[in-house]
Structure 1
Amino acid sequence: MRFTKFLLMSLVALCTLLPCSAQATGITNYPVLVTPEYWMNKNTDGDKLILDANGVQSFNARIRQKSRTVVDLANYPGTYNGDSLKTKIMDYSLLDDDLYLHGVKVSDNYKNILRKQTNVGAIPASVNVRYAVTVRRSPLRNLPTGEGLYYYANDKDFDALQETMLDPSEPVAVLHTSANGFFYYVQSVNYSGWVSKYDLGFTDKNTWLTFVKPAKFLVVTDADYILKTSGEDVLYQQGARLVVTNDKGSVYTVVAPGRSQYGSLVKQPLSILKTNNALHYGYMPYTSNNIVRAAFKFYGRPYGWGGLKNSVDCSSLLYNVYRTVGIVLPRNADEQELSAGTKHALSGVSGNRISTLDGLMPGAGLYMEGHCMMYLGSINKDPYVIHSLGSHFEKGVRQREMSVVVSDLNLHRGSGNSFLNELTTAVEYK
């Protein structure tokens, strides 16, 4: 242990003497730079509390005011306007494009079947909200089907219908049912879409509210955590909560949600040792170092579009990390950029951008069209980020990365511009 610490300190010292940026242009695997400890050691205010619990609660309220997708489930109305729901569900714009199923272009007839499955004709003038809890990690879909549709015949990574993943134990408001009865249209805390009926357990509102605002809970702080229930191994991703019913002695008793054969919620009590370091009792303190540490839990993981591959895409990386401290960001990058926070417009020449970035809190979100990253710090005025990266360009040729990487901002986009010069906004979530 002492030797490991000595080696790390030696490498850090060496990095301050050598031009590390020259050794790590673009994506880096340089051992020092891909550890959270290096960036935390550089962050002099890293353990300073940014917001306390009340501050986080107030900030979440500001996010809900700014974002059309983030809702207050604790005060969600008991009825929903039918015409408004039809408008949300009937956004079929992605069906205007050529799409492929199993490598074969789908027909107009197939697209019409998907439209009919949305069953909008059955939506009444006023919808009575029903209440359910996810019983496993669940795909949230743009249309009521589990089949993947792709923009290219040979693509297997970017399912056009995949919006996000809902973790187990997540409360949702159920608003509508597909024509075949196999999918429900639901509102989660920050997204709406279609979920398989087999992934939901229905319950009464009071029970549902114990999942919306649990009195006691554990937060997943590792990239993921497997809860072994009597029926299956259930994966919870970072930031997900497990409801605690008893915290006496050396174990926590948590609720593992399940589904009866009739679709109702079943609550199975399970014990978890308090020494389990993949979980934290309550939210983590909101410090810059805790944000950076959480982000590195995903380092090297595959890029997971919409949460597929049990991993993260660029915006869900930030979403998961921030919910470990209780902050609920919008799901998509463009809405994160427009949400609440201290914003820094990034425009002008590279020198001005670098100067702005150099003053940011490590953990801030950096945004450009179609992509976001998390700022870590700088070396010799060269900004570094951690992000879930699909691809970049090198001499005009696309380079597929498809993983969570650490890089500087000298990567290039298809436009030929560097990531640095494509940045539009930096947001400190405070």
Structure 2
Amino acid sequence: MSRLALPSTRTLAKTYRTGTRTWRMRALSLLVMGTTASLAACTTPSALAVSPSGVPAFHEDMLSPEFWIRRAPSPDEVLLDATQVTEKRMRAFGPEGGLVDLKRIPATLTRAQVVRWLQDAQQSPIQAVIDEQGRPVTEAMLEELRQNAATAHVPEASTARHGLSVRRTPLRTLPSHRRFFAGDSLRDFESLQAGILFPGEPVVIAHHSVDQQWLFVLTTQGPAWVQRDDVAEGTADAVFSYVAKAPGRVVTGDQVRTVATPEAPRVSELELDMGVALPRADVSPGEPVNGASSYASWPVLLPVREQDGTLAFQSALLRRTTDTAPGYLPLTRANILRQAFKFLGERYGWGHQFNARDCSGLTSEVYRSMGLFLPPNSGQQGKSTALTHRLFTAKDSHAERLRALEQAQVGDLIVVPGHVLMLIGHVDGKPYVIQDVPFAVFKDPATQQLRKTKLNQVSVTPLLPLHADDTTLYVDAMTSLVHVTRP
């Protein structure tokens, strides 16, 4: 059985079409086999085949972005200018780009269209086997949630409504807070988790649950359920005008928070993930905002939800000491590395659970901080028409794949079924990656026995020779080498 498949279920490795999303497992396991190549403590080889941390061909100096920046060619060279970045961002919302252009959704939604979205949204690669208490999930339990989705009550035609998310909120496959897992040892992967919405993201509202607590929405990522209180409804003009505003501040840290303001709880201590871009609020220098002077902070404009659910906007403050920028960062190799390493050690979070992210969330947010929008899952990142790819099939030899990796550049993405990794450089000609991954399983070169290291975090590892199963190298399972920074 493939090491990408979790035990006790074959459905975890299934692929589902979900509107424009192709769900694949983002990274249910990683197999890393030891290598006899010694690596550098700084720039000189070390005798370590397997480090004390349980990661092969690794030294602690590799945990610093500067280690890799020193090795990168022309690290501060701008790889794509602002015009090229904008053009790529627009292509991501075009045909087969991987993201949904909500402005193209018709004003009138048909029943067939909404029902299809509802069916697509319910597909999950994680089988629902047990609940939070470890009790078996029954068909009756799932049917209760489906009944709350009210598919039978979708009208023949309805008017598309629009809204903005007002906080970091999970997307769900069904309208419920209940948590289901594929097994007791697989609680890092929750069956109903379908992604995340960040503050200020647009949605098309297509339906609502029977209990009125959930909205069924189409997001730029595809269809999903979201808590009603986390979306403010407004006109299409108000929603898309806000989204189109020039960034006033772009979050460049792994996560920052707005200033705590008891006078304005709706915008107090909001979590903002890397790449979130907020327009500047029209505030005079020194003018108080929510009980505090703005002179030592950046005033930004955020959507808020009124008591009747309608959309309004309110100023908030970001401290000047937070990790933000006045616009998207220049797309350079040094910035790619520094941004990626800001997530180092963060816990793996399937679908952005645990206030974190998974493998495709990592790559997406790194590039979003530089203005490039990537699809939300690894499969789409590997084939989006917004990006340049070197695609691989069974006809490509091992040697051809190795040559492609030798020529790969910092920031390129390596896509294998269900997982995506980011290249950070080469040591002795061998590629290394940063990735968000649950496990490292490798063949110890001393004993030739499989050895399993639980990482469950953003980690630096060698790429060669990763295994998709006991006999197939990741390089031979590679489906795409994505050259994100090429025009």
TM-score by length of 2: 0.79
Matches within 5 A, 1:241-390: 241-246=277-282, 249=285, 250=295, 251-273=297-319, 275-340=320-385, 341-346=387-392, 348=396, 350-390=398-438
Give the structure, 1 or 2, with the largest relative contact order (CA under 8 Å, sep 6 or more).
2
Q: Which residue of 2 aligns with 1:393?
A: 441
> 1:69 Cα shift?
4.6
Q: Secondary structure at the match of 1:326?
A: coil
> 1:318 Cα shift?
0.7
Distance in 2 between residues matched to 1:321 and 1:174, nearest whole Å: 29
Q: Secondary structure at the match of 2:195?
A: strand
> 1:159 Cα shift?
0.3
**CA shift in 2, pair 1:393/1:131, >3 Å:** same
Q: Tell me whether 1:239 sits opposite 2:263 in the alignment.
A: no
> 1:268 Cα shift?
2.3
Q: Which residue of 1 aligns with 2:242?
A: 211
> 1:332 Cα shift?
0.8
> 1:188 Cα shift?
2.0
> 1:304 Cα shift?
0.5
Q: Which amino acid aligns with 2:183?
A: Y
Distance in 2 between residues matched to 1:291 and 1:418, nearest whole Å: 27
Give the counterpart of 1:32 among 61, 68, 87: 61
Asked if 2 retains the 8 angstrom alpha-carbon contact of 1:49 and 1:287, the reply is yes
> 1:138 Cα shift?
0.2
Q: Which residue of 2 aligns with 1:108?
A: 139
- Between 123-132 and 377-386, report the one with greater CA deviation: 123-132
Distance in 2 between residues matched to 1:256 and 1:201, nearest whole Å: 11
Asked if 2 retains the 8 angstrom alpha-carbon contact of 1:170 and 1:211, the reply is no
1:184-210 per-position Cα deviation (integer Å, ceiling 9, x unaligned): 111222232100011112222222123
Count of paired positions = 418
Q: Which amino acid aligns with 2:455?
A: E
Q: Secondary structure at the match of 1:233?
A: coil
- Between 338-347 and 285-294, report the one with greater CA deviation: 338-347
Q: Tell me whether 1:157 sits opposite 2:205 in the alignment.
A: no
Q: Which amino acid aligns with 1:116?
A: Q
Q: Secondary structure at the match of 2:70?
A: helix
Q: Secondary structure at the match of 2:162?
A: strand
Q: Which amino acid aligns with 2:91?
A: R
- Between 250-259 and 277-286, report the one with greater CA deviation: 250-259
1:125-158 per-position Cα deviation (integer Å, ceiling 9, x unaligned): 3331212111211000111111111111453211
Q: Which residue of 2 aligns with 1:82?
A: 111
**CA shift in 2, pair 1:97/1:376, >3 Å:** closer
Distance in 1 between residues matched to 2:41 and 2:450, nearest whole Å: 34
> 1:17 Cα shift?
3.0
- Between 396-405 and 20-29, report the one with greater CA deviation: 20-29
Q: Which residue of 1 aligns with 2:10?
A: none
Q: Tell me whether 1:405 sits opposite 2:459 in the alignment.
A: yes
Q: Which amino acid aligns with 1:339?
A: S
Q: Which residue of 2 aligns with 1:5?
A: none
Matches within 5 A, 1:44-123: 44-67=73-96, 69-91=98-120, 92-94=122-124, 97=127, 99-102=129-132, 103-123=134-154
**CA shift in 2, pair 1:66/1:390, >3 Å:** farther
Q: Which amino acid aligns with 1:129?
A: A
Distance in 2 between residues matched to 1:36 and 1:194, nearest whole Å: 38
Q: Which amino acid aligns with 1:285?
A: P
Q: Secondary structure at the match of 2:438?
A: strand
> 1:97 Cα shift?
4.8
1:306-365 per-position Cα deviation (integer Å, ceiling 9, x unaligned): 001111100110111111111111101111111132212356555443321121221111
Structure 1: give runs of 5+ residues left out of the alignment.
1-11
> 1:53 Cα shift?
2.4
- Between 67-76 and 173-182, report the one with greater CA deviation: 67-76
Give the counterpart of 2:481 among 418, 422, 426: 426
| Identical aligned residues as a percent | 27
**CA shift in 2, pair 1:13/1:152, >3 Å:** closer
Asked if 1 retains the 8 angstrom alpha-carbon contact of 2:85 and 2:371, the reply is yes
Asked if 2 retains the 8 angstrom alpha-carbon contact of 1:118 and 1:143, the reply is yes
TM-score by length of 1: 0.89
Q: Is the helix fraction higher in 1 or 2?
A: 1
Asked if 1 retains the 8 angstrom alpha-carbon contact of 2:435 and 2:460, the reply is yes
Q: Which amino acid aligns with 2:375?
A: P
Q: Which amino acid aligns with 2:381?
A: Q
Q: Which residue of 2 aligns with 1:197?
A: 228
Distance in 1 between residues matched to 2:481 and 2:46, nearest whole Å: 26
Q: Which amino acid aligns with 1:233?
A: E
Q: Which residue of 2 aligns with 1:16?
A: 43
**CA shift in 2, pair 1:21/1:64, >3 Å:** farther
Q: Which amino acid aligns with 2:460?
A: V
Asked if 2 retains the 8 angstrom alpha-carbon contact of 1:354 and 1:381, the reply is no
Distance in 1 between residues matched to 2:284 and 2:104, nearest whole Å: 31
Asked if 2 retains the 8 angstrom alpha-carbon contact of 1:177 and 1:185, the reply is yes
Q: Which amino acid aligns with 2:257?
A: I
Distance in 1 between residues matched to 2:140 and 2:337, nearest whole Å: 48
Distance in 2 between residues matched to 1:247 and 1:416, nearest whole Å: 61
Q: Which amino acid aligns with 1:15?
A: C
Q: Secondary structure at the match of 1:17?
A: coil
Calculate the aligned-residue CA RMSD, in Å.
Answer: 2.6
Asked if 2 retains the 8 angstrom alpha-carbon contact of 1:175 and 1:186, the reply is yes
Asked if 1 retains the 8 angstrom alpha-carbon contact of 2:256 and 2:322, the reply is no
Distance in 2 between residues matched to 1:288 and 1:96, nearest whole Å: 35
Q: Secondary structure at the match of 1:132?
A: strand
Q: Secondary structure at the match of 1:90?
A: helix
**CA shift in 2, pair 1:32/1:119, >3 Å:** same
